[in-house]
Amino acid sequence: MRVNTRSGRTGCRIVDLPRIADPRGNLTFVEGSDHIPFDIARVYYLYDVPGGTSRGGHAHHHLQALIIAAAGSFDVGVDDGVHQERFFLNRSYHGLYVPRMTWRELDNFSSGGVCLVLASAPYEEDDYIRDHATFVAAAGAERAQADAA
């Protein structure tokens, strides 16, 4: 199912980015801590993604991200350990804000699809949670701790 939910129960939400329309071509920009709630420490992008393959499949202890379909389209499935949502990204002026401790999977890339990611921290493998069961357990433990506080 392809649902473009603008703001959901997982804490992920679509951010409307500025769009400077111009007959010469449109322009969108992102300023850290203004359009998104973090300073941008790193930019990376996925491209030449073969049809039928998926990317992501992990969460982060600390990292926050904004995911943009800079070209083409793809789906992003997100999971906070309890709730799941699916976002369809197909506009260069929409970003999907993904908070820390959110499992994400990207799939259904269109031909020529480019996924631009603005990240809150440099690459650090120790920040990744790459096993889903481990992620669900860690998210549950955080929830229990917050409920007890």
Where do contacts with ligand TYD occur on this chain (CB under 6 A)?
A: 42, 44, 46, 55-56, 58, 123
Q: How far is the CB of 116 from ligand TYD (least distance, A)?
A: 12
Each as own residue / partner, the long-range contacts of residues 28-36 (CB below 8 Å, 24 or more positions apart, any chain) are: 28/92, 28/93, 30/66, 30/95, 30/118, 32/118, 35/95, 36/64, 36/66, 36/95, 36/97, 36/118
Instruction: Round to whole Å and give the CA distance between 81 and 6.
Output: 19
Given 35, 58, 61, 132, the catalytic residue: 58
Q: How far is the CB of 123 from ligand TYD (least distance, A)?
A: 4
Task: Please tell me whether residue 18 adopts helix, strand or coil conformation.
Answer: coil
**Known catalytic membership, residue 58:** yes
Q: Which is nearer to ligand TYD, 17 or 119 (CB)?
A: 119
Q: How far is the CB of 93 from ligand TYD (least distance, A)?
A: 22
Instruction: Round to whole Å and give the CA distance between 107 and 67.
Output: 13
